[in-house]
């Protein structure tokens, strides 16, 4: 099977930035699978990172803010 890389690159460039990031994550996932399934675990060292905002926001407001920051 022959791949026309220039056509693939053009298609990726035409995607909006959020979908380009999805393509990159998908390729990374495929690469990791191919490398023998090395599993990386999520770091859990973020606990309490927003405690300084405790008096300014409710937990629901912080959840909404976190979503905004992630999408930003």
Q: Which residue has the tokens 């053009």?
A: 10
Q: What is the pLDDT of residue 37?
A: 55
pLDDT along the chain (72 residues), means of 10: 81 92 90 68 74 83 85 76
Map out the domains of the chain as residue ranges.
1-37
What is the torsional sign of CA 18, 23, 28, 33?
Answer: positive
End-to-end, the C-alpha distance of the chain in Å comes to: 39
Q: What is the pLDDT of residue 12?
A: 93
């Amino acid at each position: 099977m022959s791949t026309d890389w220039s056509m693939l690159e053009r298609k990726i460039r035409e995607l909006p930035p959020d979908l380009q990031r999805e393509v990159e994550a998908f390729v990374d996932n495929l690469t990791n699978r191919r490398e023998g399934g090395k599993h990386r675990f999520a770091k859990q060292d973020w606990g309490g990172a927003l405690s300084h905002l405790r008096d300014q926001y409710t937990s629901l407001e912080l959840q909404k803010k976190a979503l905004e920051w992630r999408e930003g």
